[in-house]
Structure 1
Amino acid sequence: GSNSVIGRSVVIHLAEDSSRWVCATIKNDNVQINVISTFETTLSGYISMSQTKVNPDADTEVFVVLSQEDSSTTSAHMWHVHETEVTDGDCASTDGHYNPEGINGGAGFTTYNYLCSSMGSDYCEVGDMVGKFEALDMPAKQLYTDAKLPLSSLNSVSGRSIVVHDEAGAGARLACASLIDSAATSLTPETETETEPEEGFSSWAAGAIIIVVAFAATYFLAIFFTKKQTTNYSL
């Protein structure tokens, strides 16, 4: 669901000053399909998507890392998955919002906007990312979980595109990038190719954390009993 912890992290803090000691990412152990859109003009960065392979109904993790090329701070950028890939760098070539279910048919914008924002993704166009989540503020680094964003099957968004619009809710298309299977492109460390995943949080990371917790418990118990013995001797 939208509040899934997959893709987030667990952090253990030191007792004495609450500083961050060790951490691990919570991963999905299933084989994943990954797609990515890389932005290189006007905006720089990427939007990556990851979903369990051969399960288009599974949650999709959407990771946004974007900024203005001039490093300026802007807000309220609408963003959507569009029907087709980008041709010759022209954002107009991507056609309209990806909406294979025809959800917005004749309902009117006001009614649609209310249903999408208040009733959940079942009432949203598949490609309406701002309706399902929020507008983007630049620079952006956000993780979303989408229950309605298939990366496989007939309605897959792979091979389509993402369009980011001008700030303050303006409709002009600011930047765009095609959604490409990550196996066909160079990726950042955060977006792995479609391979058998390494053991996730439930295995090696969990084991490491258990060892750390056990060590910490032993350390503090040793201090406790040492102090107790010292107190007894002084009586």
Structure 2
Amino acid sequence: MVKEVRAVMNMRGISGYFNFRQASPFDVTQLSVNLANLRELVGPYHVHNFPVPSVRSGQCSNDNVGGHYNPFAVDTTSETYPVGPGSTHDKYETGDLGGKHMSLSGRSTFQMTFTDFSLPLFGQNSVVGRSVVIHLVNGERYACASIGYPGAVTVASATCGCALVGLVQ
């Protein structure tokens, strides 16, 4: 059962997407990044804890999207925390996409596909429903988008006051 989700970026002039695809809970995740109009302003990018709220100010703030997604409490202050790509993915925060793969620094556009060994779309540590935040080179949050299913999402609700037999598809 393949799972594919996307964060569509359209903020502060930056446009594009982060596409996440995982064939099963036992497979690696393919991360495709396609961004335009970066204007050489940005660098790191991460998955953050919560989705972007639709109507609040400061959408990318810590109050709204939380910190970097780090379900295994990897110590980023440790002298053994990797600086840039090159280490095994379990050594990084789950959400440290730029650290694991490649920074956006010095680029106007960015198009690349990565294989990630620790970015699940299934289970309790899934990144589905969280957000991607692009930071300025100095670390300040700059643009963000929620990670969700492409297309319309159908929400259903049922209230029953008696025995129920049926099928939901």
Select the residue among 119, 129, 140 that pairs with 1:149.
Answer: 119
Which consecutive segments of 4 or more residues in structure 1 shift more than 3 A?
none
Does the 8 Å CA contact 2:133/2:141 hold for their aligned counterparts? yes
1:161 equivalent in structure 2: 131
The one-character-per-residue Cα deviations of 1:36-83 (angstroms, maximum 9, x if unpaired) are 001112111111100013x1x411111111112xxx631651100000
Matched residue, 1:95? 66
Counterpart secondary structure, 2:74 = coil
* d(CA) in 2 for partners of 1:117, 1:143: 14
Higher relative contact order (CA 8 A, sep 6+): 2
- What corresponds to 2:22 in structure 1? 51
The CA deviation string for residues 84-128 of structure 1, in whole angstroms up to 9 with x for no partner, is 000136001111000000011xx62543134x7443101111000
Q: Judging changes above 3 Å, is the alpha-carbon distance between structure 1 residues 47 and 118 closer, same or farther for their aligned structure 2 residues?
A: closer
Structure 1 length normalisation: TM-score?
0.57
Q: Which has the higher helix share?
A: 1
Select the residue among 60, 67, 85 that pairs with 2:36.
Answer: 67
**TM-score, structure 2 normalization:** 0.78
Unaligned stretches of 5+ in structure 2? 154-169
Larger Rg: 1
Q: Alignment identity in percent?
A: 32
Partners of 2:129 and 2:74 in 1: CA distance: 21
Residues 44 and 76 (structure 1 numbering): CA distance in 2 closer, same or farther, change over 3 Å?
closer
Q: Size of the alignment, in residue pairs?
A: 145
Alpha-carbon spacing, 1:108–1:35, altered in 2? closer, same or farther (3 Å): same
Distance of 2:21 and 2:139 partners within structure 1: 28
Give the distance between the partners of 2:120 and 2:8, measured in 1 at CA: 19
Match of 2:138 in 1: 170
How far the C-alpha of 1:183 sits from its partner, in A, is 4.8
Q: Secondary structure at the match of 2:81?
A: helix
Measured in 1, the distance between the counterparts of 2:4 and 2:110 equals 20
- The equivalent of 2:4 in structure 1 is 34
